[in-house]
């Protein structure tokens, strides 16, 4: 049964609404009042205080389609993009939540009913995992739902890890609400490499995790102790792109409706015609995180959230450049993106012009140093002894050509090399020290980006013997 991503989003929310859940809007990608979190990385983030019993709401069941970014912080999938069938920097998480209302039994039954009755997925393609010691969840799956015992996998703590460090023990960050979980996997078939969860080949893309049901029972303290929550609760998350792939009869998330459109648009604006190219996937992925982050108020800068955004933009620009893009192309994908995102794209549509301007300025600026930086990097890699690019070169590319270290690493990885991150950090620290000694301070040019102004780039101003580099913009 084919369903578009937009139809799946609507069907999910309607299903849980029919089970007494309040439909709640997605929150911003910038977490409200939560300095422990870089970006919203799960549907439960906006309900954190409700789980902790600090905030009361006038409902005890909720459902959302939450926009999420996992690029930096505890959950970071940036390096997976382009390499797995299932990871994005930006994705939407469908979720249902119980705040001290129902617990394991209903959560499991709801999930199963949605998948096998509403979406009509074949049961013999599904596989579930539970936390090693969670006999209760095992029994519900086996006895109440009827999943054969050989399709229920117990997952324990990671070897050499601390207690409660398991794929089946979910935590938002180092502190906060957490608990054992049960996950549902879909078997895409023998022809795809990968093993069942719990086997050494589990990272392959044959068995793809689609839905995580977390049984929130504890609040993890900074010292690692687990305090029981006032009322056991439920938090679930299903990546819409992964379930969409199943409903559209394809294996990779990058083959679903949204991505096919974006990949075609990206190919057109770049002027490249091999639609299967990995760099096109990266560009299609990155436009989503960048556009939605900017729409949610993050601006490119040299630190914090803004620097993560800048890094993603520059990676995308570099991939476009690799495919032969002439001039700025990335910002042209904002319109098609807002269009294809259905109800999730409405806010982006309103802000389209602003988002395009911010992206274009970033692209134009980086475009000026990209070619020279790439030439220097190519030469360094050509002449490399061994497999690791030295930290000084990585730093020079960062400092003079605006290459974030992870971008340099991305290029190096394509040629089978890696970078000396520690050496890069040392070089960076040495520069800071020199700047401190000279009584200077770094300038964050975030403030200098005025979207409406005509901006002229004046180059990265690097002075001999004085490593403080400032990108100057003049109006
Ligand atoms: P994986 O093991 O595949 O990396 P995860 O265990 O890290 O996924 P969870 O933290 O359990 O994921 O998040 C809940 C759900 O959100 C997942 O089951 C998956 O459907 C979806 N999801 C998680 N990370 C991503 C991502 N980077 N891109 C797309 N969907 C994702
Ligand atoms: Mg993950
Ligand atoms: Mg997982
Ligand atoms: Mg998971």
Q: What is the DSSP string of 76-142?
A: --GGGTTTSSS--SEEEEEEEEESSS--HHHHHHHHHHIIIIIS---GGGEEEEEETT-HHHHHIII
Q: Whose CA is nearest to atom 8 of ligand 1?
A: 209
Q: Ligand 1: distance of its center to the CA of 469 in Å?
A: 38
- For residue 256 and ligand 1, the question of a CB distance below 6 A is answered with no
Q: pLDDT grade, residue 284 (50/70/90)? A: very high
Flag whether pLDDT at 192 surpasses 60. Answer: yes
pLDDT of the residue at 438? 82
Q: Ligand 1: distance of its center to the CA of 11 in Å?
A: 20
Q: Ligand 4: distance of its center to the CA of 149 in Å?
A: 20
Q: What is the mean pLDDT of the chain?
A: 90
pLDDT of the residue at 33? 81
Q: Whose CA is nearest to atom 23 of ligand 1?
A: 239
For the beta carbon of residue 175, count every other beta carbon within 10 angstroms: 14
d(CA 391, CA 382): 16
**Ligand 1 mutation pick, 242, 245, 256, 284, max ligand atoms within 8 A of CB:** 242
pLDDT of the residue at 440? 52
pLDDT of the residue at 457? 31
Q: Whose CA is nearest to atom 13 of ligand 1?
A: 237
Flag whether pLDDT at 443 surpasses 50. Answer: no
- Give yes or no for a contact between 179 and 169, defined as CB atoms under 8 angstroms apart: yes
- Give yes or no for a contact between 412 and 418, defined as CB atoms under 8 angstroms apart: yes
Q: What is the mean pLDDT of residues 134-141?
A: 97
Tokens standing for residue 279: 């760099």
Q: What is the mean pLDDT of residues 191-201?
A: 95
Q: What is the mean pLDDT of residues 207-236?
A: 93
**Ligand 1 mutation pick, 9, 72, 87, max ligand atoms within 8 A of CB:** 87
Q: Whose CA is nearest to atom 30 of ligand 1?
A: 239
Q: Tell me: the pLDDT tens digits for 31-71?
A: 998 887 899 999 999 999 999 889 999 999 999 999 999 99
3-state secondary structure of 216: strand
Flag whether pLDDT at 300 surpasses 50. Answer: yes
Q: pLDDT grade, residue 210 (50/70/90)? A: very high
- Give yes or no for a contact between 139 and 182, defined as CB atoms under 8 angstroms apart: no
Flag whether pLDDT at 2 surpasses 50. Answer: yes
pLDDT of the residue at 74? 77
pLDDT of the residue at 464? 27
Q: Tell me: the pLDDT tens digits for 101-137?
A: 999 999 999 999 999 999 999 999 999 999 999 999 9
Q: Whose CA is nearest to atom 7 of ligand 1?
A: 75
Q: Whose CA is nearest to atom 4 of ligand 1?
A: 87
Q: What is the mean pLDDT of residues 312-324?
A: 97
Q: Tell me: the pLDDT tens digits for 386-416?
A: 999 999 999 999 999 999 999 999 999 999 9
Relative to the CA of 88, which ligand 1 atom is closest? 28
**Ligand 1 mutation pick, 209, 259, 288, max ligand atoms within 8 A of CB:** 209
Q: Whose CA is nearest to atom 31 of ligand 1?
A: 239
Tokens standing for residue 254: 């990058």
Flag whether pLDDT at 469 surpasses 60. Answer: no
Q: Ligand 4: distance of its center to the CA of 209 in Å?
A: 7
Q: pLDDT grade, residue 462 (50/70/90)? A: very low
pLDDT of the residue at 470? 28
DSSP assignment of 367-412 equals HHHHHHHHHHHHHHHHT-SSSEE-HHHHHHHHHHH---HHHHHHHH
The number of the ligand nearest the C-alpha atom of 91 reads: 1
- For residue 232 and ligand 1, the question of a CB distance below 6 A is answered with no
pLDDT of the residue at 180? 95
Q: What stretch of H or E contains 340?
A: helix 334-340
- For residue 210 and ligand 1, the question of a CB distance below 6 A is answered with yes
**Ligand 1 mutation pick, 212, 247, 284, max ligand atoms within 8 A of CB:** 212
pLDDT of the residue at 52? 87
The number of the ligand nearest the C-alpha atom of 236 reads: 1
The number of the ligand nearest the C-alpha atom of 239 reads: 1
Tokens standing for residue 456: 């002229």
**Ligand 1 mutation pick, 9, 73, 86, max ligand atoms within 8 A of CB:** 86
Measured between alpha carbons, how far is residue 145 from residues 15, 19, 106, 123, 371 in Å? 19, 18, 11, 11, 58
Q: Per mean pLDDT, which range of 38-42, 97-101, 185-189, 441-445 is the poorest?
A: 441-445
Task: Give this complex's ipTM.
Answer: 0.99
- For residue 92 and ligand 1, the question of a CB distance below 6 A is answered with no
The number of the ligand nearest the C-alpha atom of 86 reads: 1
Q: pLDDT grade, residue 474 (50/70/90)? A: very low
For the beta carbon of residue 167, count every other beta carbon within 10 angstroms: 18
Q: Tell me: the pLDDT tens digits for 328-381?
A: 999 999 999 999 999 999 999 999 999 999 999 999 999 999 999 999 999 999
């Amino acid at each position: 049964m084919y369903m578009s991503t937009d139809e799946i989003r609507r069907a999910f929310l309607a299903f849980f609404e029919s089970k007494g859940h309040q439909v709640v809007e997605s929150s911003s990608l910038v977490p409200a009042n939560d300095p422990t979190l870089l970006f919203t990385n799960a549907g439960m983030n906006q309900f954190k205080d409700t789980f902790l019993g600090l905030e009361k709401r006038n409902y005890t069941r909720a459902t959302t389609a939450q926009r999420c970014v996992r690029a930096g912080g505890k959950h970071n999938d940036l390096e997976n993009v382009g390499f797995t069938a299932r990871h994005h920097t930006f994705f939407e998480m469908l979720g249902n939540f119980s705040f001290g209302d129902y617990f394991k039994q209903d959560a499991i039954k709801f999930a199963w009913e949605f998948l096998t009755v509403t979406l009509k997925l074949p049961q013999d393609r599904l596989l579930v995992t539970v936390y090693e010691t969670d006999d209760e969840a095992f029994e519900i799956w086996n006895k109440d739902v009827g999943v054969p015992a050989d399709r229920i996998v117990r997952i324990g703590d990671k070897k050499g890890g601390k207690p409660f460090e398991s794929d089946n023990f979910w935590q938002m960050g180092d502190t906060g609400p957490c608990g054992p979980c049960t996950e549902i996997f879909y078997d895409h078939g023998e022809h795809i490499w990968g093993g069942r969860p719990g086997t050494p080949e589990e990272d392959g893309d044959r068995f793809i995790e689609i839905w995580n049901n977390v049984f929130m029972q504890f609040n993890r303290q900074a010292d690692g102790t687990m305090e029981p929550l006032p009322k056991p609760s439920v938090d679930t998350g299903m990546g819409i792109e992964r379930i969409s792939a199943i409903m559209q009869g394809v294996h990779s998330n990058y083959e679903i409706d949204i991505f096919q459109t974006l990949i075609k648009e990206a190919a057109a604006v770049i002027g490249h015609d091999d639609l299967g190219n990995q760099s096109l996937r990266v560009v299609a992925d990155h436009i989503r995180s960048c556009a939605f982050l900017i729409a949610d108020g993050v601006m490119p800068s040299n630190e914090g959230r803004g620097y993560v955004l800048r890094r993603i933009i520059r990676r995308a620009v570099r991939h476009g450049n690799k495919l032969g893009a002439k001039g700025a192309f990335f910002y042209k994908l904002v319109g098609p993106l807002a269009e294809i995102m259905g109800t999730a794209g409405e806010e982006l549509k309103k802000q389209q012009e602003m988002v395009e301007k911010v992206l274009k300025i970033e692209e134009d600026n980086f475009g000026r140093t990209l070619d020279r930086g790439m030439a220097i990097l190519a030469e360094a890699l050509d002449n490399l002894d061994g497999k690791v690019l030295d930290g000084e070169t990585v730093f020079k590319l960062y400092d003079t050509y605006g290459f974030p270290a992870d971008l340099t690493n991305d290029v190096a990885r394509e040629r089978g090399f890696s970078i000396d991150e520690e050496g890069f950090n040392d070089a960076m620290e040495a520069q800071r020290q020199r700047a401190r000694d000279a009584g200077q301070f770094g300038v964050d040019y975030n403030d200098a980006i005025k979207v409406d102004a005509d901006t002229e780039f004046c180059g990265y101003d690097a002075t001999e013997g004085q490593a403080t580099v400032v990108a100057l913009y003049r109006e």
